[in-house]
Amino acid sequence: MIKLGVIGYGSRIGNIIRVMQEQRPECKIQAITDIRNDELKAQNSALQDVHFYASFEDMYNNEELDGVLIGTRCSLHTEMALKVLPTGIPLYLEKPVSTTMADVHRLKKASDASSSEVVVSFPLRVSRVARMAKEIIDSGKIGTVEHVQATNNTPYGSVYYHSWYRDEKETGGLFLQKATHDFDYINYIVDQSPIAVCAMTSKQIFKGTKPAGLKCMDCEENRTCEESTIKLPEKKRERWAYCSFAEDTGNEDSGSALVRYESGMHVAYSQNFFVRNKAGYRGARFMGYKGTLEFNFYTSQLKVYMHHTNRVETYDVDAGNDHFGGDTMLVNNFVDVMQGLDKSHSTLDHGLTSALMCLKAKQSAETGTFQTIAWDDKF
């Protein structure tokens, strides 16, 4: 039996644990520490035999754990990881690994001093689509990648304005919430280091003069507003409670970044949070002199356009419904890591690099300047 400890039993880490137990039934939740311990015990019958603790320190001192998973709100990811890293226990860490520049440098320092093997929750990096794209590019079919255009038009963006995600102190902004995945899979596929970024964000839609703290159920326009959540199921309505046109609605609703890489090539990336339905898209084009490779995560289709012949190759990928097969890959990797059978395929260094890119993009957007992507000495 593989004994797991959980710090922050949120919905995302709950899904990861579900996939883990489906894939590897030898895994068992041994202990949990969460600010909602009593609520979790009362609402989830599957947790009745789990040991609950008020702190990680208590859990660590009283349990023999094979691995720890961190699923707190984003602003606590670094703080909790700093508690686990010195123990040497394998760690599964939700993204973003940090939400502030100070935290990303604290985590970098702790990572350099730790022997803990860390799997960061970057399912796109290990998805079947991204791995096939890298396989084709590494074969030399399209030549060396010299330009990338990547897009993430998020059709479920309402979550970033109706729920706790609207609090930028928790999220760190939407580069850290979404682009962190996209930057990471691009880094993986091109296999280069980013060196500079410039970025811009806009807030054109989700702003307004409705009172701070207003909930959809209390708004007189909740029957006509396109963003109203009153018709959602009760549990979801409770989570997505707040007006997205109130004066306290946080987060930009679109953003773009240009990233320069060490070879001199650059990536143009853009994300949007007010498109809906079929307008949703997540994917990229990788261009070399000999050809262009493009893929769409939502359709799980990959195409290669050859530049000097009329040939177009189409690949339909059996991606799965768990972040395009990525969650299954991550949980199996983490179990193998805990058993000493493998190393992490989505490391803390990957998480730190992506977080630094996002934080530098945020700084660039706020200051209107290019930002160097480097570990500053002042930290």
pTM attached to this predicted model: 0.96
Query: How confident is the model at residue 6, as a pLDDT?
Result: 98
Q: Residue 227 in 3-state DSSP?
A: coil
Tokens representing 241 are 């409670």
Amino acid identity for residue 312 in this structure: V
**Six token digits for residue 165:** 């995600």
CA 11 vs CA 71, 83, 193, 211, 239: distances in Å:
8, 22, 33, 29, 11
pLDDT at 118: 98
Polymer length in residues for the chain: 379
For position 48, what pLDDT does the model report?
87
Closest by CA to 270, choosing from 260, 288, 282, 278, is 282
Q: Tell me, what's the pLDDT at 42?
A: 87
Contacts of 215 (CB under 8 A, 6+ apart): 241, 242, 243
Burial track 109-140 (b if 16+ CB lie within 10 A, e otherwise): ebbeebebbbbbbbbbbbbbbbbbbbebbeee
- pLDDT tens digits for 319-362? 877 888 899 999 999 999 999 999 999 999 999 999 999 999 99
CA distances (Å), origin 132, targets 126, 143, 231, 266: 10, 16, 40, 22
Decide: 166 and 249 in contact? Cβ < 8 Å.
yes
DSSP category for residue 263: T
Please tell us whether the domain made up of 2-124+326-347 is placed in CATH 3.30.2130.10.
no
- Two structure tokens written together for 117: 């093997």
* Same fold across 2-124+326-347 and 128-206+251-319+357-372: no
What is the predicted pLDDT for the residue at 378? 60
- CATH hierarchy code of domain 128-206+251-319+357-372: 3.30.360.10
pLDDT of residue 379: 55
pLDDT by residue for the chain (379 residues), tens only, comes to 999 999 999 999 999 999 999 999 999 999 999 999 999 988 888 898 999 999 999 999 999 999 999 999 999 999 999 999 999 999 999 999 999 999 999 999 999 999 999 999 999 999 999 999 999 999 999 999 999 999 999 999 999 999 999 999 999 999 999 999 999 999 999 999 999 999 999 999 999 999 999 999 999 999 999 999 999 999 889 989 999 999 999 999 999 999 999 999 999 999 999 999 999 999 999 999 999 999 999 999 999 999 999 999 999 998 877 888 899 999 999 999 999 999 999 999 999 999 999 999 999 999 999 999 999 756 5
| Centroid of chain to Cα 286 | 21
pLDDT at 197: 98
- Helical segments of the chain, H only: 11-23, 37-43, 56-62, 77-84, 101-113, 128-138, 159-162, 168-171, 174, 180-190, 234-239, 326-338, 348-367
Which DSSP category does 96 fall into? P
Name the pairing type of β-strands 27-33 and 2-7.
Answer: parallel
- Sign for the CA dihedral angle at 277, 282, 288, 290 comes to negative
Indicate the domain borders of the chain. Answer: 2-124+326-347, 128-206+251-319+357-372, 207-249
d(CA 45, CA 66) in angstroms, rounded, equals 23
Q: How far apart are CA 276 and CA 159, in angstroms?
A: 12
